[in-house]
A = this chain, B = another copy of it.
Amino acid sequence: MLMENFQYYNPTKILFGKDVIDQLCTEASVYGKKCIIIIGQGSVKKSGLYARVLSLMNISGLEHVTFEGVKSNPLYQDAEEAIELAKENKVDLIVAIGGGSVIDTAKAVAMGFYADHSVWDFYLQKAPRPTKALPLLNILTLAATGTEMNSATVLQDTVSGMKKGYSAPCLFPKVSFLDPTFTQTVPLNYTAYGVADLISHSLEQFFGKGDAPLSDLYTASVIKLAIDYGLKIRKDPENFEYRSQIMWLATNALNGTLKAGKNSGDWGVHGLEHTLSVLYDIPHGAGLSIVYPAWLKQHQPQINAKLAFLAKHVFEIQETDEVLAANIFITQLEAFFTQIETPIRLNQADIHINDQEKIISNFKLNKVTGSVYPLGEKEYEEILAKMW
């Protein structure tokens, strides 16, 4: 099998390290004089980061309005409200301060600002692809989704039970500020969910179509270090070096580096998890650490060679029998998730077997499938059976 033809394009500028946000207003000044700040439910106010940003803006004369209240599983309805605020105030750019939910909402605001229809229409594929978006600058406070350096956004509509992703080249952030300091106080459970998320992103692309040896070794590198630092951080949660590594790993897991020579990935696991997080409001990473082992077991006959590759390069397992090595990889991955206390079974997330039908219905409603390993009703039941 050959590499797939591919495009590699990522114009986001990353400024990484301690105090890089001191350059926020210099970078912002390229794009205009007035911004909308988008934040979540107050943690950046408690931490003092929001006040620091306002102070930088006030000193440099960057005008600002703030939208506060993005949920951890972000709603398109909040994005719509923020779009109204941005339009009323005729802003030139967006400054998002937060994790994936805040940045994904900010991307919706970026494209919704120029649209004359509901921003949700983009996600429902009912509107033409946007060619214009407000410039977006991010200050990241949670290492997990990689949205700080890609063109994708995921929002949900709790009313209809739909969670939808969307992507367009105009949604690449202009600049993302990655200061690991701002993640030092993230609790260990959310740190673990972030690590599960970044490992899942790596795996989704690893199981994409195409034979890409460099991307595969890069992927093993990311997963290996995610496991190393995912364990280390538990003993010293404020360690700057460990936080730095996890932050940069999460960005790398979904900035294009791992998918060159493949199609964009399988993404069936994400489809399955999204329906769980819509139904139960569980953290995305916690859902992924439940779904991934089940998905790997379901497809194991087709992916033993790939899993054996990961066993060798991630866990340094020298086992030459492919099936045994693949088994070891799955077992060790589950053991790792358990060590960092992210769930690997639904009951650990308080989801119980009497919900079986409800979950399957939601898989059907969302027409969940993977682009390389298709999923249908039979697979829904078989995979779900492995999550109990």
- Per-residue interface assignment for chain A, residues 201 to 244, with 1 indicating a CB less than 8 Å from any chain B CB and 0 otherwise: 00000000001011001100110110010000000000011001
One of A9-17, A93-101, A373-381 contacting the partner? A9-17
Interface 0/1 of A11-55, CB less than 8 Å to B: 111111110100000000000000000000000000000000000
A244-B13 in contact (CB<8A): no
* Interface band, chain A: 35 or more
B2→A241 contact, CB < 8 A: yes
| A5 sits at the interface (CB 8 A) | yes
- Knowing A221-B218, A221-B221, A261-B248 are in contact, say whether A240-B2 is a contact too (CB < 8 A): yes
Q: Are A214 and B4 in contact (CB under 8 A)?
A: no
Cβ A5 vs Cβ B10 within 8 A: no
Contact present for B20 and A15 (CB under 8 Å): no
Which residues of chain B come closer than 8 Å to A6, judged between CB atoms? 14, 16-17
Q: Collect the chain B residues with CB atoms within 8 Å of residue A260's CB.
A: 16, 248
The residues of B that contact A12 with a CB separation of less than 8 Å are 9
Check A7 for interface membership: any CB of B closer than 8 A.
Answer: yes
* A3 and B214 form a contact (CB under 8 A): no
Question: Looking at the complex, which one of B7, B213, B257 makes contact with A13 (CB distance below 8 Å)?
Answer: B7
- What distance in Å separates the Cβ of A240 from its nearest Cβ neighbour in chain B? 7
Could you tell me if B225 and A221 are in contact, using CB atoms closer than 8 angstroms? no
Q: What CA separation (Å) do A211 and B245 show in the bound complex?
A: 10
Decide: A10 near B10, CB < 8 A? Known: A221-B214, A240-B2, A245-B214. Answer: yes
A2 touches B244 (CB 8 A): yes
A249 in the interface (beta carbon within 8 A): yes
A239 to chain B, nearest CB (A): 10
A252 contacts B by Cβ under 8 Å: yes
A8 pairs with B13, CB closer than 8 A: yes
Q: Which of A228-277 contact B (CB under 8 A)?
A: 228, 240-241, 244-245, 248-249, 252, 257, 260-261
User: Which B residues touch A11, using CB under 8 A?
Assistant: 9-11
Contacts of A244 in B (CB 8 A): 2-3, 261
Closest 10 CB pairs of A and B: A5-B17, A217-B221, A11-B11, A8-B14, A9-B13, A6-B16, A3-B244, A2-B241, A213-B225, A7-B15
Can you report 19 residue pairs joining A to B where beta carbons are below 8 Å apart? A3-B17, A3-B241, A3-B245, A3-B248, A6-B16, A6-B17, A7-B14, A7-B16, A8-B14, A8-B16, A9-B13, A213-B225, A214-B222, A214-B225, A214-B252, A217-B225, A218-B221, A248-B260, A257-B257
